[in-house]
Every structure is written in structure tokens, then in C-alpha cells.
Amino acid sequence: MNASNQNTKGRPLCFGNWKCNGSIAALRQWAADFDPGGAQAAVCVPYPYLSLAVQLLDKKAAVGCQDISLHAGGAHTGEVSAAMAADCGAQFTLVGHSECRQAGQDDKAVAGRIAQAVGEALIPVLCVGETLEQREAGKLEEVLADQLGAAAAELRQSRSPIVAYEPVWAIGTGRAASADDAQKAVGLVKGILKRTFVDYIPVLYGGSVKAANAAEYMAVDEIDGLLVGGASLKADEFSAICAAS
């Protein structure tokens, strides 16, 4: 996967996040049915399916995990290190997804996870975004600047970081942001990144993305790709999203 360090918008990036869903049978069928089209496709599967997904998807899609441990190893029951994920063939990891932040990860913990990913040559996909309360209070830019700023030092150590803007109020709610909303927010993200980084960093949009609205989001110049949740569980739907990109 070569997603960044480019000067202009390249092939669209389509990332699927299966969250806590799936089975071996479902993965086998999904891999057989999925067609990435012209997009650079990637899928974040639950930990137990990493190696099998790498084997089944081969050149169809990159495979990554949905989070990694803040620790490199040791007495941390139930956690999976970046080295373990890489050993299973993962190429990237989501970091700071809103659901993980809501479960207790703060900006310091997110930055530490990016450092772990970089240390094992995993591409970090940093998720940033505001809650409905923060949005209504007019704090969108402040929230984005804080989340990106807290991870800036660690992102600079990665050769190919990616950022995903995901309005928390539009994740799993069926309430999608409008293309104008997405354009404004992603534009803010890119403005902040340009002040902090020399190289171009791709920015994805995520939040109730479906085949029916994927083309609308991808028509926005600022958006380099999509982070897809529930719709990525259906191979035909995710294929259609990739085609629309």
C-alpha cells in the first residue's frame, strides 16, 4: 500500500472496518465476492482473522487491524501488540477510532499507539472527529487541531500516515454528514496538516458511508478516500463503494 508522500490526489483509498463482526465462513465468501475495481482497497478485520484475510485477499486488498496495544509486549492480558499484528501480515492499523476514544483512549494513548505502529512499519490511520455537542458549540476546528496536534510528533516518524475524519455524530447512527459538511471538515484537517507536515497526507472521510452516497463524497476535491463501517461487511456493497470512488 502506497498511500501518501504524493503531491496530488491519486487513486482513491477505500478502507473497510468490520468492527466486532465476521466469521471464517463470512470472510471466505467476502474474499471470493469482493472486487476492488480501480480503488486501493483495505479492510480492517478482527484480530483472529488477520492471517486468513491476508491469505485470501492477496492482491485484492490490504489488511489491517482496528487498534493495537499501547505496549510492545509483556503482562497485558487480552491485548495485541503492533509486532504481533505485523507478524500476521497486517500492513496498517486504525488508531484513535471514535469508539476507542469513547472507551477511554485519550490523546496521549492514541499518540503512543501511533509510535508502536511506526516502530513495526505499520501504516497508522489516525481517526479524528467531533461529537455533536462539540460541533454545536462551534468547536470543530479546535477539536481537530487538538487531536492532530497531540499526534503530530509520532505521525512525523511514519513514512506513509493517513488521517480519517469521522464525525462522531454520524458513525453508526445512519445520520450522514452532507458533502458540504465533509468538505469543510476535511478542508480544516488538511489546512492543519499543511501547517505541520511537509509531505502530502491523504485524508479519508468516514461516517455512515454507503454505496448510495460514496460518489457524492468522492466528488469533493479534499477527500482522498473513504472509511466504511457496516457497509463494508457486504462484499457487493463495498465493491460498489470502491467503484463509486
CB 44 within 8 A of CB 22: no
Q: Nearest CA to 14 among 197, 221, 217? A: 217
Catalytic-role residue among 99, 130, 154, 166: 166
User: d(Cα 81, Cα 98) in Å, to the nearest integer?
Assistant: 20
- Is 97 known to be catalytic? yes
Q: Nearest CA to 33 among 241, 211, 234, 242? A: 234
Q: Nearest CA to 237 among 34, 27, 59? A: 34
CB 144 within 8 A of CB 184: no
**Neighbouring-strand partners of residue 138:** none
- Is 166 known to be catalytic? yes
User: d(Cα 201, Cα 8) in Å, to the nearest integer?
Assistant: 10
113 Cβ contact partners less than 8 Å away, ≥ 6 residues apart: 67, 68, 69, 70, 82, 93, 95, 96, 105, 124
Written as nine digits, the cell of 211 is 454505496
CA 40 to chain centre: 13
Give the active site residues: 97, 166
